[in-house]
Structure 1
């Protein structure tokens, strides 16, 4: 059957609020760091309940577009509220826990192996990835490419073709989890510090320490706003 003739889905009220907020940010030419009107004011202007406004704000927080500060209002994280469709967000939330479980199992072992098997050249490649990530963050970025390079370098240093193949098979899902984690407030610098701890354990040739450092890191990656969000019907 044609995709165009799939069943119609009734738009939820908070989804309409999301679209209105996106339009408001664009029309008002708001930028990162600017504050949105208070929830009560938004509800009054839009003619909806505060609950609908709150749910819309949560959706935009989950996407890393807004930041609510306790007692201090809601602020833009970026210059736009344009984000992925809600359906994609819901699907990613469903698969993320399994991806994170796989990452912990695979990458903890790879870090352990890297501490035992890495060459001097491979250790240097891990260090270069750290430096690249540090420069990205210093320049105002999230450090996504540096993070990718770091984990790829650790995987290569583990010298396990089978584990490397498993990592390659879920590369797309790993990219999703990486991006989801690094856009959490304060996460890039914390991730860099944990990468440094992993590097130091690998450099010291201490497999157990490297595995523990990687496990701690991946469990931090798992602490994302998306997994605390419960989509409403």
Structure 2
């Protein structure tokens, strides 16, 4: 991997939103010929170059990660993951994709809440010792990652997959698979929020405790509370200043 640091365009007007920041970053990636595996400058440096706050920049990078332009890797910074952004239309298409994603977020959240709340209740009724072991392994993996400074994305995905498997409902599992990529988008956004990985891990533990206790109502309530909490993402809070 290589890191390139040619100059960015001029500083952005502070009234612009994360979409415009994302568009500027995308244009810079294309203009400088960066490809998959190339690193972009650290967030602090990017924020200074663009004249925006770290919060706005972080929101823009998360949006770009969701649509597959970059990946934020613990210990390795932010790297480009998507080629083919050349031409004037490239950055504009990326912004369109970001807006389309934000528009469908509420429906994704509603669907996830309905499915995962039921899955947690069924898991409390049907879980086996093997199911509980998988849930515990996912919790341990996420905790280890979060303690090391990561976001716990893989552990989060494994936990929800383990709960889905513990419900032993083939149809519900298929429905979850149908929206898995959409859930991944909200997962990336949620776990990029400050202090969210630890809060998410605590929510997982509450769900796991209820499933282990064989209490369907408590499991459903804990999962609903968890989904509600992790669904509070920056893209649904409106524009940020700076």
- TM-score greater than 0.5 by the shorter chain: yes
2:197 alignment counterpart: 188
1:204 alignment counterpart: 213
Q: Distance in 2 between matches of 1:154 and 1:62?
A: 32
1:139 alignment counterpart: 148
Q: Note closer, same or farther for the CA distance 1:204–1:81 as it changes in structure 2 (3 Å cut).
A: same
> Normalising by structure 2, what TM-score?
0.68
Is contact 1:114-1:155 (8 Å) kept? yes
Asked whether 1:96 is paired with 2:105, we answer yes
- Measured after TM superposition, the shift of residue 180 of structure 1 is 1.2
Give the aligned CA root-mean-square deviation in angstroms.
3.4
Is contact 1:18-1:57 (8 Å) kept? no
Q: 2:194 is paired with a residue of what secondary structure? A: coil
Q: Distance in 2 between matches of 1:91 and 1:142?
A: 25
- Measured after TM superposition, the shift of residue 138 of structure 1 is 1.6
Q: Distance in 1 between matches of 2:45 and 2:223?
A: 37
Q: Distance in 2 between matches of 1:87 and 1:21?
A: 12
Is contact 2:143-2:201 (8 Å) kept? yes
- Measured after TM superposition, the shift of residue 95 of structure 1 is 1.3
Q: 2:112 is paired with a residue of what secondary structure? A: helix
Is contact 2:207-2:219 (8 Å) kept? yes
2:88 alignment counterpart: none
How many correspondences in the alignment? 191
2:59 to 51, 54, 61: 61
Is contact 1:22-1:81 (8 Å) kept? no
1:124 to 102, 123, 133: 133
1:153 alignment counterpart: 162
Mind listing any 5+ residue stretches in structure 1 that lack a counterpart? 1-11, 43-52, 66-77
Q: 2:158 is paired with a residue of what secondary structure? A: helix
2:230 alignment counterpart: 221
1:75 alignment counterpart: none
Is contact 2:22-2:60 (8 Å) kept? no
Asked whether 1:173 is paired with 2:171, we answer no
Mind listing any 5+ residue stretches in structure 2 that lack a counterpart? 1-11, 33-39, 64-75, 83-93
User: For 1:204-224, what per-residue CA distance to the aligned partner results, in whole angstroms no more than 9, with x for missing partners?
Assistant: 111110100000000012100
- Measured after TM superposition, the shift of residue 58 of structure 1 is 3.4
- Measured after TM superposition, the shift of residue 33 of structure 1 is 5.3
Is contact 2:138-2:159 (8 Å) kept? yes
Q: Note closer, same or farther for the CA distance 1:30–1:159 as it changes in structure 2 (3 Å cut).
A: closer
Q: Note closer, same or farther for the CA distance 1:59–1:202 as it changes in structure 2 (3 Å cut).
A: same
Q: Distance in 2 between matches of 1:58 and 1:83?
A: 21
